[in-house]
Structure 1
Amino acid sequence: MTNTEINRKRLYYVGNLSIFMIGLGFAVRANIAPNLQADIYDQIDLANSAAMVGEALGITFTGFALTLLFGSALVDLVGMKRMLLLSALGYIAGALGLLAATVMPVGPTVEMVVLASLLLTGLGWGAVEAASNPMVAALFPEEKTHRLNILHAWWPAGIVVGGLLGVAISAVGIPWEINMFVLLIPAVVLAWMVASSQFPETERVAAGVSYGDMFAELLKRPLFWVFWACMFLTAAAELAPGQWVNIALSNIVGMQGILLLVYVSALMFVMRHFAGPIVERISSVGLMFVSCLAAGIGLYLLSLANTPALAFAAATVWGIGVCYMWPTMLGIVGERFPRGGAMAMGLMGFAGGMSIQFVLPRMGGIFDAAKAEAAGGADQLATLSPEAMEAAVRYASVESFQSVAWIPLLLLPVFGVIWLYDRQRGGDGAESIHGQGDTH
């Protein structure tokens, strides 16, 4: 079946729903992180519980990265349909596993069940990215960055819905475990839509580019690996603070941090629909330069915010900064290395996922060390009064956010040099899959 014979509109809905589902999962994990820490990890090791919950959240990104690494290389063989069915099943199994963990006695077994369940959702997340990104690139080859930004607008939409549902669940006193049921509904709907749809070939396959040519394209192009390395840092600036926000910011500003995540996500949902006009004016790499500058400033301001009003102001700057990062990095690779196919996009997602696997536990470790420092030593934590513990946790929250504020600023010279080089050449570096050369 050729790409012109498939139902582009239906498949775009499938892609949007798949991205919505993984955004929903991101919000659910942020919602339940404090509950997992209090109900499980504090009982196991109070002094290191933040690092433990960071590791648990981080394993989701490990699953995500591994599926992207191998799934992107195999999506041409197994098909987008099977890959998206795998994603739906991963979320269903992961949600059911977390539900089972909540009724088990606290101990090493329940800790392993939590890790396995979060790993499954990560595998499902990676399968979504491995299939949906090359699908959209194949459906809309002439406007990849714009369409990928719109597709990934449904990520923050899922965060908004999941975050608000989590706040509502907490506000009315419903058990927090109900959050897991939030994941099941879109996963089941996605499985049905995928099973009843026809999918296109990837752009690489449709153009007749072989597997050997795909790998050769990536190996012989050093600039691809520059962008790949940049993805480690852009993902750390966007996703790690977002996953940590409910633990940290709740302690800094005295409100549910998930509300800030919901606000930023709503901002991102709107802004990503306007990526096309922005890219036309300043190019994809120019957009990344501006984004990194705003993200670094926003993260530092978030660590200083001590009232809800200041937190929302700082979150606005951070949100504007990180808004376009993930889809624009994918768009840059899709435009500049089209012969790299799904593998090129998958390697970018792998870099992003592995970045978070390292950064989240690091943020947790910084949090624990700062909390112990404020308490006068880890052995003093259990003796602190509620007021003293609150002050120690607030100090630790500030330290953990400041630890990542410098990350996006490291990329300013990299994107700045590439942006300037592109402008001197009179183009944006985009290429045709049938041959190299500027297409604009």
Structure 2
Amino acid sequence: MEDINKNRLFLASCLALITTAMTFAIRARLETVFGPEGIGLTLEQIGYAFTPAFFGFTLAMIFGGPLVDFLGIKKITWIAFVTHAIGIVWTLMADSMTSLFLATLFIGIGNGMVEAALNPMVASMYSNEKTKMLNRFHVWFPGGIVIGSLIGWLVMDVMGLSWQIMVSTLFIPLVIYGAMFYGQKFPVTERVQMGISNKKMFSSIGKPLFLFMVACMFLTAASELGTTQRIESLLKTSVDVPLLVLAFINGIMALGRLFAGKVVHKLKPSGMLLYSAILTFIGLWLLTVTSGGMTFVAAAIFAMGVTFFWPTMLGFVAEYLPETGALGLSVMGGAGMFSVSLVLPIMGNLMDNASAHEALRTMSILPAILIVAFLGLNIYMKKRKQELVVEES
């Protein structure tokens, strides 16, 4: 990889992820624009209009994952750029549930292609530090949400400008990451480097450990993104500006992922996941019983829980199941986003017909299940390590 500019590619990748993350924050702010007090959609209708951000992401990752090996990382990255651009323009023209749905679909496909191309690229460029560098790359998911949240607050709540101006700010990181990728040479995926056959890659995703991780990804992603995507409605009776709570949560997540290397070394991926599940459960439960300033305390605990979920799940697969290749990482990410597309309407229905606290209580069941699952994973990984030591001796 001597002729590949790793630093430029990594920085451009971070900007692409910032674009992805800003769409999440800005979409959260759009909930009130299109909701009952704005254009007039119910919270359940908005839930359905927002689902393409997640199932579009899922489709892009599942189809984009295998295509990364065949078409190359470069082509998939440019597909991400084009679909991002279409989605942003369409969002600016949205005036109904249908147009918002279609705009969100293109955004979701762009976001999925970013992850489908750039997760395996980072794993390939930094093959000896996969979990550490994937966490460092994913600093910019919460980092981008902080940026998007603050932009939404400043543009609409402080300056009183239109929501279209807020959405238009997405063009800034989009254009920059496109310019940085332009003319660059991209690496091949790690699976291609290792010479693993297509047959072995496809058979590897049927391994029990991989299927277990996919099932857990459903719950980790829904716990994190289901909650943060609907933060405006979930916390509107608890705090004055829910979007600032979103920025606060993601600021903590960004700092945590930045220093993930030390945590990975101490706890190993399976240990990180167990502690994450425990803190996520406590944080979600506290959000149901707090208001005002204490909401930020509960949010901080929740943030410390979800910080390592997404990148560590990917890092675990990249480290312990490398033969699954780009397809494995894409299936993981796709499963996570698909789960969010399922919970958003359910949460909307609960908020329309019960209350926000009921929705949060329901969501807290997910990390409770994960505590049991990751406790079992820790026991399994320790046993596996002991068996490897015995074999080597």
- Shorter chain as denominator, the TM-score bin is over 0.9
1:315 aligns with 2:302: no
1:245 aligns with 2:231: yes
| Worse-matched range after superposition: 357-366 or 87-96 | 87-96
How far off is 1:340 after superposition?
0.7
TM-score, length basis structure 2: 0.95
Are residues 296 and 172 of structure 1, via their aligned partners in 2, closer, same or farther at CA, if it must alter by over 3 Å? same
Alpha-carbon distance in structure 1 between the residues aligned to 2:384 and 2:109: 41
Are residues 366 and 428 of structure 1, via their aligned partners in 2, closer, same or farther at CA, if it must alter by over 3 Å? farther
Moved over 4 A (4+): none
The aligned runs of 1:22-421 (5 Å cut-off) are 22-38=20-36, 42=40, 49-102=42-95, 110-170=96-156, 171-219=158-206, 221-253=207-239, 255-307=240-292, 309-370=293-354, 396-421=355-380
**Secondary structure of the structure 1 residue equivalent to 2:205:** helix
How far off is 1:422 after superposition?
2.1
Alpha-carbon distance in structure 2 between the residues aligned to 1:16 and 1:438: 41
Alpha-carbon distance in structure 1 between the residues aligned to 2:137 and 2:265: 18
Alpha-carbon distance in structure 1 between the residues aligned to 2:2 and 2:197: 21
Percent of aligned positions that are identical: 35
How far off is 1:428 after superposition?
12
Are residues 428 and 32 of structure 1, via their aligned partners in 2, closer, same or farther at CA, if it must alter by over 3 Å? farther
Aligned partners of 1:240 and 1:359 also within 8 Å: yes
Alpha-carbon distance in structure 2 between the residues aligned to 1:428 and 1:406: 34
Aligned partners of 1:296 and 1:409 also within 8 Å: yes
How far off is 1:39 after superposition?
6.3
Are residues 427 and 269 of structure 1, via their aligned partners in 2, closer, same or farther at CA, if it must alter by over 3 Å? farther
Segments of structure 1 that go 5 or more residues without pairing to the other structure are 43-47, 103-109, 371-395, 430-436
How far off is 1:427 after superposition?
6.7
How far off is 1:133 after superposition?
0.3
How far off is 1:195 after superposition?
2.2
Aligned position for 1:392? none
**Secondary structure of the structure 2 residue equivalent to 1:174:** coil
Are residues 417 and 218 of structure 1, via their aligned partners in 2, closer, same or farther at CA, if it must alter by over 3 Å? same
Q: Deviation string for 1:187-237 (max 9, x for gaps)?
A: 122222222211000000011112111112222x21100000000000010
Aligned partners of 2:88 and 2:167 also within 8 Å: yes
Aligned partners of 1:33 and 1:246 also within 8 Å: yes
| Worse-matched range after superposition: 261-270 or 176-185 | 176-185
Alpha-carbon distance in structure 2 between the residues aligned to 1:30 and 1:368: 17
**Secondary structure of the structure 2 residue equivalent to 1:66:** helix
Aligned position for 1:375? none
Segments of structure 2 that go 5 or more residues without pairing to the other structure are none
Letter in structure 1 aligned against 2:11: Y
Aligned partners of 1:283 and 1:428 also within 8 Å: no
Q: What's the C-alpha RMSD, in Å, of the aligned pairs?
A: 1.8
| Worse-matched range after superposition: 83-92 or 263-272 | 83-92
Aligned partners of 1:81 and 1:195 also within 8 Å: no
Alpha-carbon distance in structure 2 between the residues aligned to 1:39 and 1:198: 49
Alpha-carbon distance in structure 1 between the residues aligned to 2:291 and 2:17: 33
TM-score, length basis structure 1: 0.85
**Higher CA-based Rg:** 1
Alpha-carbon distance in structure 1 between the residues aligned to 2:154 and 2:321: 44
Are residues 195 and 428 of structure 1, via their aligned partners in 2, closer, same or farther at CA, if it must alter by over 3 Å? farther
Letter in structure 2 aligned against 1:399: E
**Secondary structure of the structure 1 residue equivalent to 2:188:** coil
Are residues 427 and 156 of structure 1, via their aligned partners in 2, closer, same or farther at CA, if it must alter by over 3 Å? farther
How far off is 1:283 after superposition?
1.0
Alpha-carbon distance in structure 2 between the residues aligned to 1:428 and 1:125: 40
Letter in structure 2 aligned against 1:256: V
Aligned partners of 1:295 and 1:320 also within 8 Å: yes
